[in-house]
Chain A
């Protein structure tokens, strides 16, 4: 959609410098994008971040390992359980407690990870519809999200920043009565996914707005370190739950509950796999959106499988995994000096990693967070060249950033 060269000679146009400032309804937080446009056509869009920088890493240096957990919530506040779990697993790797964690704890952590993924994707899909102009799916998604937040509130006491999963187990014991509620939610949720697809995903206007916009080629995606739905939307089958399994994903993989396409980044043949639709083909906004929509169904199945496993646990296993293996008196645990660990997991937005360094003291010496949105946002300049201003909004929405983790 470029202006033909002949026209440039005859019609004198000027460039327009537009500032989509830190306060804007569609930038998903305090993101500033300086856009150089030629009319409606974007020549260059430069993101400026740092408006939400809260010195998380510096604060973490003044606290013990467990006290860092609330800071991790507030990084990606829409997927707080995932942040907690990743950080907890990093610390457990550092301390060497991997074998000590009871089975029930692992199952419940997987369950919470996937429930949180559903909540995060609901938010992302809803706000994406809002960016594009469809206001109703946003509220429908939030109706479901409310039910999930009620579940989380019963479990941890908080609706958004849970701080529920700490190194060693949980902050409060897992209430077994809530398993039925989660199962009810999963059954109710199945039809809702059809509703979202009817209303938004296959809506002709929505498809016109998002197809062939913001195309990210697989080579660009790999070079720029994009992960998560951005990578899978471009056709690269990379999912850390499948490739480098953690928690319960190994078992789920073997049982066939949880499926991603084959490994490697060959262009997939649609006739071959097509089980989850969780792999895009074109790398455009619609593909990334559809990856997230498909992951709703995938996560729902994993949650049901985890619930089934919880039911099958023996009583002693249930007892063991009810709380936390670290008692209150032992809360100043340490790792040997010089020990460090990097743990990465598949956040709803991509690869979330925590690099933790210990110096033998109870305080965390260095905690560095690798936020998926930080990497994904770099790509904005590349993929928005030649798009229109209205498309720029759609592109930012499809990258699905949370400024909390971009800026930390």
Chain B
């Protein structure tokens, strides 16, 4: 099923869950409302025409100042029609229901998003830090993260957080030498 058919199929069952779609990009995506996420995912998984049984990736992308986006990449082992779901969360309190009950593989992915971005997944059985140390403070992958000066007495390097090898003019808006 191509993207349009999937969206139409979903709209029949969960018309209130879908906030919007974007079909103009390389991987078209569906923006989903946070509260209806789990039901929508259950439909995606169980409906034989959709059969999304493989959750590839859960990413969190930080768009300061207002939103954090959670992006779910799904795929079907049998039907081979990948799909992208997005949920936009407010940056101040990023809370979202956990998908561990739908796809058990979400366990570690959600722990990683919690660890690096600070997103709280409600209903996750074991939401603890996975990549950083257990007593680490802060969420490193956020754009406004301040590197600590030292950790347990070990100083955290002088170049932490500074940009290297990028000439300053490249930072300006609109600069490019080759466009896509």
- Could you list which residues of chain A lie within 8 angstroms of chain B, going by C-beta atoms? 49-50, 53, 55, 57-58, 61-64, 67, 93-97, 222-225, 227, 236, 238, 243-244, 263-265, 326, 329-336, 338-342, 344, 351, 353, 355, 357, 360-363, 365-366, 368, 370, 374-375, 377-378, 407-408
Contacts and interface: CB of A to CB of B under 8 A. Distances in A.
A378 B178 CA distance: 42
A222 B25 contact: no
A94 B71 CA distance: 16
B176 A334 contact: yes
Interface string B140-180: 11010000000000000000000111100011011111111
Given A263-B78, A357-B61, A333 B27 contact: no
A353 B178 contact: no
**Most A CB atoms within 10 A — which of B163, B164, B170, B177?**
B177
A341 B141 CA distance: 19
Given A57-B116, A94-B180, 9 more contacts: A50-B133, A67-B165, A265-B77, A330-B177, A332-B178, A339-B26, A342-B73, A353-B57, A370-B56
Given A94-B26, A353-B56, A353-B57, A326 B78 contact: no
B65 interface: no
A217 to B, nearest CB: 13
15 contacts: A49-B131, A50-B129, A50-B133, A53-B132, A62-B166, A223-B104, A225-B55, A225-B56, A225-B103, A236-B77, A244-B82, A265-B77, A332-B175, A341-B27, A342-B27
A222 B77 contact: yes
Given A342-B84, A353-B73, A361 B171 contact: yes
Given A49-B130, A222-B77, A333 B166 contact: no
Interface in B9-35: 25-27
Interface string B73-87: 100011010101000
Nearest to A354: B57
B170 A378 contact: no
A361 B174 CA distance: 7
B108 A378 contact: yes
Contact of A225 (B71, B80, B105, B132): B105
B54 interface: yes
A355 B173 CA distance: 23
B120 interface: no
**A-B interface, 6 closest residue pairs, ranked by CB to CB distance from nearest:** A225-B105, A330-B178, A333-B178, A370-B57, A368-B59, A50-B131
Contacts of A236: 77
Interface string B120-132: 0000000001111
Nearest to A223: B104
A107 to B, nearest CB: 24
Contact of B71 (A243, A355, A362): A355
A176 to B, nearest CB: 28
B167 to A, nearest CB: 9
A244 B180 CA distance: 24
A265 B26 contact: no
Contacts of B108: 374-375, 377-378
B107 to A, nearest CB: 6
A131 B68 CA distance: 43
Given A223-B104, A360-B174, A378-B105, A333 B180 contact: yes
Nearest to A54: B131
Contacts of A365: 61
A326 B178 contact: yes
